[in-house]
Structure 1
């Protein structure tokens, strides 16, 4: 096991101790290891997988922002081949949360999500991508047409 030392100011150390106590860690080392693992996994998630994916794009926006809701809906319609479903929730008098389920080529999903999150007025955008792998080809209809099923990559 490799050891290293970090320095924290008193306020940050106190907040960290409260966090690890609240999560039930027995010591700082265990908590730091989990934080590092989480950061590594988070960084891995930011890489766009090759092939196909399913994804959830969540974001908050102010519905009073001039024509923003129409622009967001227009983007979803322009990419109807990627947009599986959308849920809209009113957070307060001004802000809305949308969660959009996407499915398709990973590069196309990432490009669409980046464009939507870049719209002026969109806040707190987050994309969670799950890589898919082709399962098998088989026919379902009376014409013997084959198609591909995708499942989460292992």
Structure 2
């Protein structure tokens, strides 16, 4: 682990300590590491350097909209390699909230999210991407060698 020292004005240090306390960090180092990770991952996403991601796509829709639920389910089946899981919540008599958990190529996740979000009747769609490293390989688990992927967060 590499260590470095930074200098802050008293005012900035006090504000940073308040920010740290409000979020429940135990020390400044953890807070700085998380801020750096966030900035680096944001840059990767903006510059299309994040090849793989895990993500959540949340959206609200009116389940009375003609065939919308069926269309949304159809899109999910078409992207079964991206969709890991879904959660469905009834908000009221008309509206539902659905959150999809996704994993795969970032470009495909974005395209899938755009397709679902553009469906007539889908409102308030929000995609949260987390860039990851994806490694595929074969190794032993309980004496059974098989090929599968491992997902690792960056840094």
* TM-score normalised by L of structure 1: 0.65
Measured in 1, the distance between the counterparts of 2:44 and 2:63 equals: 29
Indicate how the Cα distance of structure 1 residues 49 and 122 shifts in structure 2: closer, same or farther if over 3 A, else same.
farther
Match of residue 75 from structure 2: 75
Instruction: Give the whole-Å Cα distance in 2 for the aligned partners of 1:62 and 1:46.
Output: 31
Ranges in structure 1 where 5+ consecutive residues have no aligned partner:
1-23, 25-36
Match of 1:149 in 2: 150
Q: Closer, same or farther in 2 for the Cα pair 1:46/1:116, shift >3 Å?
A: farther
List, as ranges, runs of 4+ consecutive aligned residues in structure 1 with deviation greater than 6 Å. Answer: none
Distance 1:45 1:116, change over 3 A: farther
Q: Provide the C-alpha distance between the structure 1 equivalents of 2:84 and 2:96, rounded to a whole number of angstroms.
A: 19
**How far 1:119 sits from its partner (Å)?**
0.4
Q: Is the 8 A contact 1:130 1:153 kept in 2?
A: no
Alignment deviations for residues 66-96 of structure 1 (CA, whole Å, 9 cap, x no partner):
1101100000011111000001100001100
How far apart, in 2, do the equivalents of 1:60 and 1:126 lie?
Answer: 9
Inter-partner Cα distance in structure 1 for 2:74 and 2:136: 34
Aligned pairs (5 A) from 1:11-26: none
Tell me, yes or no, if structure 1 residue 103 matches structure 2 residue 103: yes
Unaligned runs of 5+ in 2: 1-21, 23-34
